Amino acid sequence: MLGSIYTGLSGLLTYSSGLDVISNNVANLNTSGFKGNDLLYRDLYYQFQWVATQGPQLANEQIGSGVGDQGTVIRFQQGDLQETGIDTDAAIDGNGFFIIRTNSGEEYTRAGQFIFDNDGKLVTADTDEPVAGLNANGGLTDITLDGLRTIAPTPTSEVSFVDNLSTGSANHVINNLALIDTVGEAHPVTIRFTNNGTTTPRSWLIDVEDENGDTIVAGAEIRFQANGSPEVDFNTITFTYTPEDGEPFDVTFFFGEPGSFTNATSFSGGPTSTLVVEDQDGSESGALTSVGYTRDGSLNLEYSNGESQTGPRLALAWFDDPQSLRQIQGARFLSQDGQDIRIGGATDSVFGAIVEQTVEASNIELTQEFTDLIIVQRGYQASSQVITVSNEMLQQLFDIGSSR
């Protein structure tokens, strides 16, 4: 009977550990990137009775010594992805861990709540520790905005036009086309189209004037085919523009592919032409306005001038045996010595994709936790009842002895 008391006690101790695990899971229901744990139960050693009739032989009696815990396992199932609207938040849809560079070494997490600090370095929002990126050689480096807070201007090199130059109109004017020079300054120009059809069918002459009324281009010619589409070798004009106190740069006016009707055309449309500028590729210098992520984990940088570019790329880690990771506070993990680590970028090899403005929620499912809680409670209650009954039986035995 003393053995049954110890067996019941093992149940109380083990189910208490089970309750600790469940309570920690429930407490971290709203911890981003948290991974729940499950306690492993195991039966303890057995006592066997031997008989020696015709040599030692195992009798039909095996008595166990209770229950113990065999440690915990981590649930690495992905949690729900929740949108936050915060540009620098990131979640991994698939395999991988973000790498946090601490003073004591690398730590790994699925929690992607990041910010840029005052120095322009991408850090964790709670501890201000650097988030690792990939350098040109595939190694780890800090992710910073150094050299990326502004974008250099791009001079205008091509202007494309769309809509119709009516053969019934004598002339057409487009005002205030802004040509961007090499330092990002905008220079408004005026483009004048003169119908030259009396000399050459479907021919137009082009003059370009700067903001001071000075002529930049005089008498350049474009032509159209009988079907109204641009003619071969007469669908572009190219000139060099030298702004006052500025560097010269070449500009091409593009009116469309020969035989195509997607850009400029020349049909009979009455006395009015509708030709307008469709696009021009120059841009002024711009300041950084927002930072996000692409699916492969690269920074997506957008600027005040409407331009964008791709920046450094987040580094991800993966392990062949994630259960060998050691769980620490902050929804983070440490790798054990000698454990193989794969380093790469999102969408490469085994790694999942990055989802911007999103974080991964805890993977705790309350229904499962409450179910486990009932089982643990019943096990603890039953174990305590075993101890109570064993104690009563011992008391009855003591009462028999004292009555003699």
pLDDT given at position 328 = 95
186 neighbors 285 (Cβ within 8 angstroms): no
pLDDT given at position 52 = 57
Residue whose entry in the numeric block shows the structure tokens 């680590």: 341
> Shortest CA distance to 175 belongs to which of 195, 159, 191?
191
What's the chain's length in residues?
A: 404
**pLDDT class of 394 with cuts at 50, 70, 90:** confident
Predicted TM-score (pTM) of the model is 0.79
Mean per-residue pLDDT, 283-289: 93
pLDDT given at position 396 = 83
The fold adopted by the segment(s) 158-280 is Tick-borne Encephalitis virus Glycoprotein; domain 1 (2.60.98)
- Residue by residue, DSSP assigns 35-63 as --EEEEEEE--EEEEEEESSSEEEEEEEE
Question: How do residues 94-105 score in pLDDT, each as one tens digit?
Answer: 999 999 999 999
Mean per-residue pLDDT, 54-75: 76
Cα three-residue angle 247-249-255, rounded to 5 degrees: 155
Question: How do residues 257-271 score in pLDDT, each as one tens digit?
Answer: 999 999 999 999 889
**pLDDT class of 57 with cuts at 50, 70, 90:** low
Between these two residues, 397 and 80, which has the higher pLDDT value?
Answer: 80
Q: Where are the domains of the chain?
A: 2-76+363-402, 81-150+288-360, 158-280
The rounded mean pLDDT for the chain is 92
* Alpha carbons 6 and 126: distance in angstroms, whole number: 46
The answer, yes or no, to whether residue 401 has pLDDT greater than 80, is no
* Alpha carbons 175 and 190: distance in angstroms, whole number: 5
Give me the sheet containing 203-209, strands edge to edge: 171-180, 186-195, 203-209, 215-223
**pLDDT class of 51 with cuts at 50, 70, 90:** low
Pairing of strands 158-164, 276-280: antiparallel
pLDDT given at position 44 = 83
Question: How do residues 177-222 score in pLDDT, each as one tens digit?
Answer: 999 999 999 999 999 999 999 999 999 999 999 999 999 999 999 9
Long-range Cβ contacts of 176-181 (<8 Å, 24+ apart): 177/277, 177/280, 178/280, 178/282, 179/241, 179/251, 179/280, 179/282, 180/153, 180/154, 180/155, 180/156, 180/280, 180/282, 180/283, 180/284, 181/153, 181/155, 181/156, 181/241, 181/243, 181/246, 181/247, 181/249
